Chain A
Amino acid sequence: MATRKREYSTQQELIEGCIRREPPAQRKLYETYAPRMLTLATRYSGDRERAKDILHDGFITLFNKIESYSGTGSFEGWMRRIFVNTALMSLRKADVLRNTEEINNAVGEISENPGPVETLSSKELMELIASMPDGFRFVFNMYAVEGYNHQEIAKELNISEGSSRSQLSRARAWLQERIRRQNEGE
């Protein structure tokens, strides 16, 4: 018997298809968002292999919890929140977050003028972020890219708000220095 192929032409239809546990809808949602979610996972984990695990676990959580999406606000924003939580959970399991409180003193000289970020490709920038020290990476990603505030970061990472601010500042300096070096061709 021939089954009618669903098109899921709108995001709403796609979400409703996923709520009904329809595999084609799940597949389409995955194909639409997996590249960006993989980048997110890599930015947090700093490790491609671990990022693949986060991608897997994140989508499983997403498909199981998609009914709780309220329908208000950005779906991708809601989805990113799930993947950030999955990444943090994964890193917590791997005991990576334990050293978040430690201030990395290996920060180089802070650049006054690191040069425009746009001179780097997105891939180069992502690799730079992924190579940041653990504590810097989590705080910088959560604050600068995902838009968490310091209170939320402190709660998620179990650190003080002061530490969050301090690490963000150092993370920015670390990244600006690396960008400057890249721009100067070092």
Chain B
Amino acid sequence: MRGGHLKKRFLISLCAAWLAAAAAAVAQDTPTPTPTPVPPEPEAPAPAPTPGPSTAGAVNPTFFNPAIAVIGNFLASAGHNPVQPSPAFQVEESEVSFQAIVDPYARADLFLSFNNNGVEVEEGYVTFLNLPWQTQAKAGKFKVQFGKVNTLHLHVLPWVDEPLPIDNILISPDTWEAEGISVSKVIELPGDTFSEVYAQVLDGTSGVLFIGPSKSDLTYNGQYRLFRDFGDDHNLELGFSYAYGHNGTSLTNTTALQNAHMVYRWKPLQGNPYRSLIIRSEYFWSQREQPDGTQKAQGLFAGADWQLGRRWFTGARYEFSDRAVDAALRDKGVAATLTFMPSEFSMLRAEYRYREYAPGIKANEGFLQIQFAIGAHGAHPF
């Protein structure tokens, strides 16, 4: 009862902030009187010669079209896996993206995902870039800011697949995406430490992870993350996420999820041009109320990726996870990867994966992934 009251207050506060933000964005249209007299026009330094902007020519009729990119992801697999079977060949989460600035206040991003089963909107949202109190807001369908891997598209992961806790704790074959509203704020901490807080209100139903019995049974998620550089070459990201919502197993049953994530990066800017190391780990904790009692499940993965040369990378991953719907069942596995990137726009990856599913089902698999990117140049993954 108390939890429901708190949720309502939180939702009302978020909506109020949202409305205030929208009003403030509209208010920016109104010219603000200048409080101080304008100083006399100084004599400007000699202007630069202007033979014409180097990047601009005649007006391009497609200038305002969104940036379009296609990322193809072809996956071949060999071996036997009776628990998570995959076809010998598949086009997995191949993606078409449309991205553009909407107006002075917002940008829009749409990602369509293609796979063997058809097409779906993987993400589609509008982002209000600068709202009062230096907040940013996003509305639409997006990857929920829960942990680190869950926020990333498949093509930027260092593996061909998501780790076990994504499958078992988030009860999803890929990642947790949901429709809703997200508000974030950057908070600078001493020592040039970056921190950011997210508050997200989501539709009550997203996949089978959260199922709201009624329209007002919403899902809530929050994240606080910290990032700090240690000199030129090292940096560390830490984060904590919490999510809460109804799970649909009864009118009142809920699921609470927690996640702690860590990413350490070493990339020397001089001396070793083609060496880098990334170590990442996430811990998941789920408390899921069910008619048979509360299932308390946990999961973890830890991985390291080492750059062998300009275009070669290798990595290893350890993972285990209880199943959220039956915490007595624990799956575990290891994987090793070798990646070759002919250019910034293509990639070949081989992965060997061994998983041991409860109760004692073993799966040895090999994957070959081929990725390519065409169209607009996207940002480098980080």
> Do these two chains interact?
no
